[in-house]
Amino acid sequence: MLLIKAIARSWWLTNAELANLLAIPTKILIPDLLKGPLSFKPNSDTAERLRIIYSIHACLAYLFLNPADEARWIHQKLPILANLSPLHYMLQFKLPGIFRLEAVVRDMTRTGEPASASLIKDRPLDPQPRD
């Protein structure tokens, strides 16, 4: 569970935010998850979310040499995300938002342009949640 702890620290996540991102029903379980005694099945929804979130984190770590810049970007409101921060976009739009943000940061990695609205101006993010 070191991976979860690393992402939580890098993004300055609260237990409630981490629980929401990983679709864990209660933030009370997060301390046990971070300590290691609590786990989840490899093919579970939580494991899939963690895989995608780690991909986002890895791309951002590549783009931002200073870890604090990665955290600031995750919390910064962006016009391309309907004036939501990437974190709140993922929290609001759940798994579709997480998938969409992964595509955005992969594009950023490919072009080498962190946090540029021009990267996806032709592919704006839909501010409406999809089920």
- pLDDT of 86 above 80: yes
Q: For residues 54-82, give the mean pLDDT.
A: 90
- Residue whose C-alpha is closest to residue 25's, from 42, 38, 43: 38
What is the per-residue pLDDT across 94-109, written as a single tens digit (0 to 9) for each?
999 999 999 989 988 8
Task: Provide the pLDDT for residue 15.
Answer: 83
How many other β-carbons are positioned within 10 Å of the β-carbon of residue 45? 13
Q: Which two tokens stand for residue 41?
A: 């099945």
Task: Provide the pLDDT for residue 5.
Answer: 82
- Residue whose C-alpha is closest to residue 34's, from 61, 7, 74: 7
CA distances from 64 to 30, 81, 105 (A): 27, 20, 11
Q: For residues 29-53, give the mean pLDDT.
A: 70
- pLDDT of 72 above 80: yes
pLDDT grade for 26, boundaries at 50, 70 and 90: low
Q: Mean pLDDT in the chain?
A: 78
- Give the distance, in angstroms, between the CA of residue 59 and the centroid of all CA atoms in the same chain: 11
